[in-house]
Chain A
């Protein structure tokens, strides 16, 4: 019998009756804002985070969190003296705060990266760019997710 979410939840709710539901969650299945901050600090260190220069294109409302298109672009001439070294993308509420790190060079010509991501919940997505002068710039976007990804049970 295919297990539906409703069926699974009713099982989980009826643990005392059934007595067969194993306890599986050993760690929180959600990153916390503290984990997001820690992950960002891991990349940025003590440097100041400024807002601006970075653009994050992501739909504000997604039906399916399993594949969400996302584009990050940074206003930069991409010359040897002034270019984007890397772009880092984070989330607030997936089980893990990192999404991806992307490393560019002056040969990139344009500081823009697109990919498709998973979002486990309605949450904030943060993109940070590291420039060649080692300044960090960030932007955040809120995304409403109606069908979550990442932690659903397999059928």
Chain B
């Protein structure tokens, strides 16, 4: 699935940088009904993880109260050049990944 990742391409060592991640997902709450009264089954992203050169720096548990196309913004200290890996997991075996790289001077 399509994901939008925003990580600065370059940073100075020790800078606190903002990371923004958005992925497309319906986030069906499981509390809605169709017009003829059937419950629409829940289909949400339940977990998000961000790793920086293999080490987990941020993790989130998500619930139906997170809006569709979940957006997350968080911070980390730029320590070394390398790669950020993002992973979303959810209902019905949903899983998707994305990555971004950074140069630290």
Q: Are B55 and A107 in contact (CB under 8 A)?
A: yes
Q: Which of B26-64 contact A (CB under 8 A)?
A: 29, 31-37, 39-40, 52, 55-64
B66 interface residue (CB < 8 Å to A): yes
Q: Main SS of the interface on chain A?
A: loop
Q: Secondary structure at chain B's binding surface: helix, strand, loop or mixed? A: strand
Nearest B residue (CB) for A125: B65
Total A residues in contact with B, Cβ cutoff 8 Å: 41
| A residues at B contact (CB < 8 Å) | 3, 8, 21-22, 24, 29, 66-68, 71, 91, 94-96, 98-105, 107-110, 112-119, 149-155
Which residue from B16, B59, B68 sits with its C-beta under 8 Å from A67?
B68
Segment of B1-9, B74-82, B88-96, B97-105 in the binding face = B74-82
- Our pick among B57, B65, B74 for the contact of A91 (Cβ within 8 Å) is B65
* Pairwise interchain contact A102-B35, C-beta atoms closer than 8 A: no
Chain B residues within 8 Å of A, Cβ to Cβ: 16-17, 29, 31-37, 39-40, 52, 55-68, 70-77, 79
Q: Which residue of B lies closest to A8 (CB)?
A: B35
Contact of A115 among B32, B33, B71, B75 (CB under 8 A): B71
Residues of A within 8 A of B72 (CB): 113-115
Are A110 and B75 CB-contacts (below 8 A) given A3-B35, A102-B58, A151-B31? yes
B65 near A96: Cβ-Cβ < 8 Å? yes
